[in-house]
Amino acid sequence: MGSVRARATVGATLVVAVALVAAGLLLVWLLRDNLQEQVGLQAEVTGRDVAAQLATGRALDDLDLDHARPVQVVDRDGRVYQVSDGLERITGTGSDSVTPDPPARDGQADQAERGEGRERADEDDDDDDDDDEERPGADGDEDSFPGPGELDEEIGSVTGSAVVDGEDGEYLFAVVEVTTPWDEDLVVYAGAPLDVERAAIDSVRSSMLAGVPALLAVVAGVTWLVTRRALRPVEGIRRGMADITRSEDLSRRVPEPEARDEIGRLARTTNETLAALESSVERQRRFVADASHELRSPIASLRTQLEVGEAHPELLDLPGAVQDTVRLQGLAADLLLLARLDAGERPLSATVELGRLVDEVLEERVGDRHPVHLAELADLTVRGSRGQLARVLGNLLDNAQRHAAGRVRVSLRAVGDEALLEVGDDGAGVPEADRERIFERFVRLDDARSRDEGGAGLGLAIARDVARRHSGELGVGTAPEGGALFTLRLPLAGRGSEEEPAAG
């Protein structure tokens, strides 16, 4: 079960199996309930018919009984009054006996006495008159009987068996209680066969047992084929990624299916990820190459000066060696900071008084070639690392000093819920086509100048990375003085913060 196709097939088959079993059980239950209701209705109709005959006073021998169905009439004590013809054995009712043994009714005894009275009519007319007054059915009404009986409206049911004309079967017996005109409390058991119900249920059950496995096999096969077809592009993507991993060639791409479904989007996203990874690896390679090139120059210069100083101490250019060492130290610090930023290092979450920071950075700068004019300085607070923000401002001022003709301007003000720091100069400015390119690492627009004068091309890249780590943005435009205008936007800190300003 290690493949998605196998799991999908098993899962779909199990779901369909559960649904079929549940539907089958419900169907059997409904069918059984319906058939039992019909059988019970048949038994009830027969039982009510026999009970109605008894309630109207019909003689037991004259009862109209269904010969195809077992009928038994008993009293409360289980004494059998009448049974249907052909009934040979019965169980589950009031009595297992199938031999009628009813007691003599009062009406029948009176009729016998009236017959004897007529024979003595000539001998004793007075006695005969007295007897006729006392006996029911006098005045020649030999068929008279008491008033009609009563039929109980509540019908019960029991399950039993019976043998009718040699045929043994299971029956559902309707239980009908009736009171005859002679105050006899009788119970009628009228049966309806359960064989039809059970045969129908067995037939449905057999059909389900035979059909469900076949249907599940079809579901499993169709699911297997459909999932194989659906997952075929995924296998192509997997093989493509495996080939790329083995070859280490990030320029290759995985095949994209024509379908605009989830798998197609997965393939496109995978190719976009490969493209981003290729670009990132290329940037890293270029970064390493540029860093090696930048480090090579000061190291080679410093080594040359030291070797000359070792052979000829009087020719040692100590200030030049110090300058190369300082440059090498600064370049190493820039590379280290970029590596930390690339690793996802987040700045310190502390409050920084940006106005005071600008003032301190400007006071610490000595030896700048061009004066710095502080146009506006608002008292604003942001959140982040004081040291990294000071590094951003220092890099912007270094860039402005390098390209300004004679003047650098700095301003800090609030724009909405952001702090806007501007550093402008009166130099040649930045062409619009190169305004994004200058933020790339080791990029210098003035390639004719030496690295000693122009720097390594990392200052603006570091400044933008730090700005974005502080949820801000660094851009460049045209200054009113005609040169470049760098704008740093940072979200203002919320009021009421209790944290101390960051120290670094």
* pLDDT score, position 27: 87
- Output helix, strand, coil percentages for the chain, rounded to the nearest 5: 50, 20, 30
Tokens encoding 458: 């990392």
d(CA 263, CA 202): 48
Average pLDDT of the chain is 81
Burial of 426 (0-12, 13-18, 19+ CB in 10 A): buried
**Dihedral sign (CA 126, 130, 133, 138):** negative
**pTM for the predicted model, two decimal places:** 0.48
- The full set of domain ranges for the chain reads 58-195, 265-341, 346-491
Contacts of 391 (CB under 8 A, 6+ apart): 337, 462, 463, 466
* pLDDT score, position 147: 65
- 161 forms beta bridges with 91, 170
- Asked whether residue 189 carries a pLDDT value surpassing 90, the answer given is yes
Distances (CA, A) of 398 to 202, 393, 394: 96, 9, 6
Class of domain 265-341: mainly alpha
d(CA 361, CA 459): 16
Q: What average pLDDT does the segment 179-199 reach? A: 87
pLDDT band at 228 (very low <50, low <70, confident <90, very high): confident
**Dihedral sign (CA 53, 59, 60, 61):** negative
CB half-sphere exposure, 251, CA atoms < 13 A: 1
d(CA 280, CA 445): 23
Pairing of strands 372-377, 350-353: unpaired
* pLDDT score, position 145: 54
Q: What average pLDDT does the segment 467-492 reach? A: 92
Question: CB–CB of 465/484 below 8 Å?
Answer: no
* Best CA proximity match to 102, nearest among 130, 67, 144, 74: 74
* pLDDT score, position 498: 42
- Asked whether residue 376 carries a pLDDT value surpassing 60, the answer given is yes
Between residues 318 and 175, which one has the greater pLDDT? 175
3-state class of 368 per DSSP? coil
- CATH homologous superfamily, domain 346-491: Histidine kinase-like ATPase, C-terminal domain (3.30.565.10)
Q: Distance from first CA to last CA of the chain, Å, rounded?
A: 56
* Best CA proximity match to 243, nearest among 235, 234, 230, 252: 252
* pLDDT score, position 77: 86
Helices marked H in 56-124? 106-119
SS (H, E, C) 228-256: HHHHHHHHHHHHHHHHHHHHCCCCCCCCC
- Asked whether residue 123 carries a pLDDT value surpassing 60, the answer given is no
* pLDDT score, position 392: 92
pLDDT tens digit sequence for 306-352: 888 888 787 777 787 787 787 788 778 777 777 777 776 777 678 99
Residue with tokens 């305004």: 435
